[in-house]
Chains A and B, each alone.
Chain A
Amino acid sequence: MSADAVQDKIKELEERLAKVEGNRSNMTMVLFSGDFDKAMAAFIIANGALAMGKEVTIFVTFWGLDVLKKPTMTGAGKNVLEKMVTMMRPKGPAKLPTSKMNFAGIGPKLFHYMMGKKNVTSLQNLVDTAVEFGVRIVACQMSMDVMGIKREDLMDGIEFGGVAAFLGSSFDSNTTLFI
């Protein structure tokens, strides 16, 4: 191999190494669940990863969209089925059910009380902190279309995308979680 060829090979390997090392900084999550406890886990991990210097993307789909809803969201301008879904689903972090011990809505109140006593940060606070410090939140446009959720129904500071947005982020990550 000539000296030039060796130089080229070294350059190529350096570029590949830089790419691999760069990828280490990313973490991707799918938040599919709209359960309060699971959303708590997702946003605690997201904020923790942020503190450890990682770039974090949360792709929010299906029931997970409940977490991003503004409490003021209404069924105005939606068809009958969309209005029904809007009415029946919780809107925002304060209204979510728990995956266990929900007891028709009493469970979450109990957990909010117990977590408050132990000084655990609220889900709303964790979501706001995540967005403020640069966690990328991507809402699934397809699920939004299916359930008649408009962009203005969801919190500010988020992006919208499809499966490729999730996969692109996941391929660049060394950790991907489905919650």
Chain B
Amino acid sequence: MAKTTLDLKGMSCPMPIMKVAAAVKKGASGDVFEAVCDDAGFEPDVHAWCKETGHTLNSLTKAGKDITVVITKK
């Protein structure tokens, strides 16, 4: 299972979720993606995106402005 890290800091809507979608699309089932973003809208966006697309949101952690998510491709 490949692991991809995405640095989405400094980006604003809709770029972070587009970058996540593009990366996950390229990967294989079971691949893990870790993304860091400092856009406050990223948290609800990631929840909605995972719910809609069916990929698994393993974790979401916050440190200061940074939001780190770990997603597994379905």
Name B's interface SS.
helix
Q: Which residues of B contact A120 (CB under 8 A)?
A: 12-13
Contact B52 A53 (CB under 8 A): yes
What residues on B are CB-neighbors of A50 within 8 Å? Answer: 18, 21
Q: Which residues of B contact A74 (CB under 8 A)?
A: none
Bound CA span A14–B10, Å: 47
- Asked whether, in the complex, the Cβ of A51 is within 8 Å of the Cβ of B17, the reply is yes
Report the number of A-B residue pairs with Cβ-Cβ less than 8 Å.
Answer: 37
Q: Can you list 12 A-B contacts with CB-CB less than 8 angstroms, sorted by A residue number?
A: A44-B13, A44-B14, A47-B18, A48-B17, A50-B21, A51-B21, A52-B48, A53-B21, A118-B12, A120-B13, A121-B14, A121-B15
B17 surroundings in chain A (CB, below 8 A)? 48, 51
Question: In the complex, how many residues of chain A place their beta carbon closer than 8 angstroms to a beta carbon of chain B?
Answer: 14
Question: B18 touching A53 by the CB < 8 A rule?
Answer: no
Q: State whether the Cβ of A119 lies closer than 8 Å to any Cβ in chain B.
A: yes
1/0 contact string of B1-42 vs chain A (CB within 8 Å): 000000000111111011011100000000000000000000
